[in-house]
Each structure stands twice: as C-alpha cells, then as structure tokens.
Amino acid sequence: MAYDYEKSIRPGKLPHIWCPGCGHGIVLKGLIRAMDTCELDRDKTAVVSGIGCASRLPGYLDACTLHTAHGRAAAFATGIKMAKPEMTVLCVGGDGDGTAIGGNHFIHACRRNINMTYVIMNNYIYGMTGGQFSPCTPTGMKASTTPYGNPDPIFDISKLAIGAGATYVARTTAFHATQIDKLIAEGIKHKGMAVIEVLDDCPTSYGRRNKFRSVVEMMKRLKDIAVPVTAAAKMTDEQLEGKVLTGVLFKEERPEYTEQYAQLIQRVQGA
C-alpha cells in the first residue's frame, strides 16, 4: 500500500498553495512520516509557525497548530512548552522567518535548550512577500531587492544553532526525502533543542531570477552540493568547496530548560 498521508492532512485542504515544484510539500510529507515514526498523539502535539510560505505548513496538518506573528514561532513555542511541558512542540518556518525577523527568538530558544524541534526550510529567499533577499541568500545571487547581486555574506543556520547552544543540529535537503523524516524523528526523540535545517528550492522567487531553468535543475543542484558528514571527513578542502555538509552535525546532552525550571519552582516553593 502507498503511504497514507491523507490521514494526517486536514480534510479538504489539498491541493496546497505552494508553487509547482516547491520543496515545502516534500518537507511536509517528511514531517508526517517522522510524526508517525515517533507515534505522536496528535492531541498532544503542537506545531507552531510564523509567517511565510513555509509557515503555511501547519495549516495542512491535523494536529494542534498555531500560526503566529512573523518570526515569533520560537517565542510562542517556548510559551506552550513552559505552560504544558508534557506536549511535544514542533516549530516550522523559513530562513527569513527564523533567522532574520525571528533571529533573536531563534538563538535564545537554542541557548535555553528547551525541548522542542525546529524545522527550518532554507529556500534562500523571502518567497511569499515578493522575493526579497534573506540572510541566507548566497553572496552574488539576485533577489527582488538585490537586482545587481547580493553583496552580503550568508548566515550558516546550522553553525548559528550550534553556536547559540542547540543540542541537536542536523541538515539535509529537499532532494534527500528519506533523510528528512529520519532526522526530524531523531530531533523529536532528542531531549533538548533540536534544529533541522532543510535546504529547499524556491523556483518562483529565487530560481527564476538566478537563471535556474527548471525545478528539476534546482533539485539536481541540491543533490550535487550535499556531502554527508561521514564522507566529508575523507575529503580535502578543495573538494569540499561549494558543498554543504548533511546529516547529524552536532549532538550533546545538556540540562533541559523546562525540567530546570520545574526544579527551580520546587526548590523555591519548598523552602
């Protein structure tokens, strides 16, 4: 039998609003498979998002979902987790939403090591608002607000998350569909802040302006630039130029925030 995705989709919501070839649909499928792998109770799972194309994702999911202010997904998710620590909290969003407008909320959620899973779909651009450059638009590439090429260096989301203190950081691409659900499932099971960066394609706002002739060309590019961390250890710096590492990039155990906070309450009230 084919995989039953429709049991996890709200009735009547398909077809979704994403453009032809947009990788967000592939990530949604991966998220559904990961939620099934972890056997999450949909009534005890909160999926939180901000604003943007990627943030439309919870609207399709049959779970407890929350569509919040631009960039504030991590802040609302922190609130849910603090009020109801027994809930599984998932955050989804794009690169602009998570690292520019919500950059502050993102790094502080990482720093606190609060038990939630943040899936960032990095499509290199602000898609929904008209193709403005984001902190992840590669240097030299065109966006509606950088018609002569983007002069800024980029944010490496995974390195940012590791630096800010997230305890599980992984990266994959929309091409590597089976890896998406494996990494998200591992992130859900991990106790602490898990960040999964999924490199994505935006044919409408990014591909069109940067001479990608088709969706398939963008997908093949994702396939070509990805190098698994295990393989990268045996490669030279020249071979790794222009590549991105995929797989589990960082993992450690550190005290989790809601537990620490519960202990604090117990200590103060008990005294």
Partner 1 sequence: MSAKAEIEIIERYCKGCNICVEFCPTKVLEMDAFVVKVVNADACIACNQCELRCPDFAIKVHKL
Q: Enter the tokens of residue 16.
A: 């979704």
Instruction: Count residues binding partner 1 (CB under 8 A).
Output: 27
Cα 262 to Cα 75, 79, 110, 270: the distances in Å are: 19, 14, 19, 12
Q: Which is nearer to partner 1, 2 or 233 (CB)?
A: 2
CA distance 190 to 170: 12
Q: Is 11 in the site for partner 1 (CB under 8 A)?
A: no
User: Are residues 169 and 249 in contact, defined by beta-carbon separation less than 8 angstroms?
Assistant: yes
253: Cβ–Cβ under 8 A, 6 or more apart, which residues? 167, 191, 192
Helix (H, G, I), strand (E, B) or coil at 235: coil
> Nearest-CA neighbor of 120 among 105, 141, 138?
105
Minimum CB separation of residue 97 from partner 1 in Å reads 19
| Main-chain dihedrals φ then ψ at residue 118, nearest 5 degrees | -110, 115
Minimum CB separation of residue 130 from partner 1 in Å reads 21
Q: Which is nearer to partner 1, 47 or 121 (CB)?
A: 121
Binding to partner 1 (CB under 8 A) within 160-219 occurs at 175, 177-178, 203, 214-216, 219
Minimum CB separation of residue 245 from partner 1 in Å reads 22
List 5, 42, 59, 229, residue binding partner 1 (CB under 8 A)? 5
Minimum CB separation of residue 14 from partner 1 in Å reads 6
Q: Which is nearer to partner 1, 116 or 215 (CB)?
A: 215
Binding to partner 1 (CB under 8 A) within 20-49 occurs at 20-26, 29
List 14, 235, 240, 264, residue binding partner 1 (CB under 8 A)? 14
CA distance 202 to 206: 5
Given the rule CB under 8 A, which residues bind partner 1? 1-3, 5-6, 9, 14-16, 18-26, 29, 175, 177-178, 203, 214-216, 219
